[in-house]
Amino acid sequence: MSCLMVERCGAVTFEKSETQNATQVRMLADGRQSTCHPVVLLAERRGSFPLIDLRILKTSDQRGEVESSTRKKVKRLLSFQRYCHSSRLLRGDVPQTPGSLHLLDEDYLGQAVHMLSKVGTWNFDIFLFDRLTNGNSLVMLMCHLFNVYGLIHHFQLDMVKLHRFLGMLQEGYHSQNPYHNAVHAADVTQAMYCYLKEPRLAEQLSLLDVFLGLTAAAAHDVDHPGVNQPFLVKTRHHLASLYQNTSVLESHHWRSTVGMLRESGLLSHLPADLSRRRKDYLQDIEQQLGSLILATDISRQNEFLLTFREHLENQDLDLTLASHRHFMLQIALKCADVCNPCRDWELSKQWSERVCEEFYRQGDVEKKFELEISPLCNQQTDSVPAIQTGFISYIVEPLFEEWQRFTQPSLLSQTMTGHLKKNKARWSRLRYAQASVDVHSCSRDDEPEGGEGGGEEEEIEEENIP
């Protein structure tokens, strides 16, 4: 059986392999006694979710979201006409039939379409766009960008198959993840679009390069379980075994994407002017998508960074070569994946809090089941400001310094660098203020009862930090 078949049938295989542990599965699922309930959960997870105590993960804010997931899916399915209409609207091809429902669609999508006209700006608010599109930000964004570049016409894509693929992709993300969800995928895709427009890169990109870059961005975290690779390895998750503990999540994202491409039939027909056989062309597309998605593995950061620096120092990047363009697409996707600290503070702060919340949830599960708590996942010792300053210093800054050199530098890269410096300084001040409060609190705790200094502690708020 191929890896792909294993990926697509993962839920059933995993269910069968865990039959002898049904009691444990029920306990870790949500504590119910119904023997059929774990089956439903595993099917919804598409095979990737580890057995996590959902009672921990379902906070009061999430519970309503989880319970309304079916209702949201129905709304998204009913929005198919809106997807098609938005595509026609963007092309200026809107029927003028009196009494048609297109007026309702136009009113519903008006603000979203207005936002799409500014999708190439760096201050694009993906959270607002997701609300305006009723949670369909990834589908709407991809349809728009495919129209902008003329990819639908060039690759002769069927609109129904395209919608089917994008819908599968969007539903493949888990909305209960605070960070690794479809909104994150849409945010990375929007950032990728901005990078593809960089003059030095845009001049040399082919339409196939654009298709690969946007698709890889949209799919790079599909079916993410909300925990990291070390968690999957130490809990002996079936995905860790399948991919031999190497780029486990990224490999799964890639294989899931390939499965969706094949299932949707999006590339079942190709432009007539292709000289290579269709099968070879499809395999090449799948492999290139895999190469791009696998590049987002954070453990390979130094590998790509060193190669990027060598190219820039030797000045030997030749973007007329397909291999060099592909490497730059890998770098662009890596930048898009970690660009949150380069956004405006209000957007950046939201993403920072979301990713840390996801870390903390993993830490809570590890603590509950007496596993070693992973780095950055202990809410008692790992604060958001500390995590973010470290992330910026060791991951984001080195990468974007080289990206700025590559763009020579562009207005966008200068803007991102400016936000990055300001955000790092702000997180550093918050970290210092928090540490000062902790030290002061500890000193108060050590004082004998009735001692001096028992006055009310002055509260330090973020807005008061210079």
H runs (alpha helix) in 203-271: 207-219, 229-234, 238-242, 248-264
Region label for 122, one of left (φ > 0), alpha (ψ between -120 and 50) or beta (otherwise): alpha
Does 388 appear as a known binding residue? yes
- The catalytically annotated residue of 144, 163, 180, 224 is 180
CB 235 within 8 A of CB 248: no
Dist. CA 62–CA 58, nearest whole Å: 5
185 is in an annotated binding site: no
Nearest CA among 105, 126, 253, 277 for reference residue 192 = 126
Q: Which of 433, 357, 349, 432 is nearest to 392 (CA)?
A: 349
* Closest-CA residue to 215 (of 334, 351, 333): 333
**253 among annotated binding-site residues:** no
DSSP state for residue 20 in the 8-state scheme:
G
Confirm whether 180 is a catalytic residue. Answer: yes
Q: Is 220 annotated as a binding residue?
A: yes
**Contact assessment for residue 332 and residue 190, using Cβ atoms and an 8 Å cutoff:** no
282 phi, psi to nearest 5 deg: -65, -45
Judge whether 154 is annotated as a binding position: no
324 is in an annotated binding site: no
b (16+ CB within 10 A) / e for 227-239: bbbbbbeebebbb
Is 37 annotated as a binding-site member? no
Report how far residue 335's alpha carbon sits from residue 366's, in angstroms, rounded to the nearest whole number: 30
- CA dist 252 and 219 (Å) reads 11
Q: Is 273 annotated as a binding residue?
A: no
Residues 233 and 240: their CA atoms lie apart, in Å, by 5
Q: How far apart are CA 120 and CA 115, in angstroms?
A: 10
Pair 327, 307: CB distance under 8 Å: yes
181 is in an annotated binding site: yes
CB 416 within 8 A of CB 339: yes
Q: Which of 222, 204, 437, 418 is nearest to 327 (CA)?
A: 204
Q: Annotated binding residues for Zn(2+), as ranges? A: 184, 220-221, 337
List the catalytic residues. 180
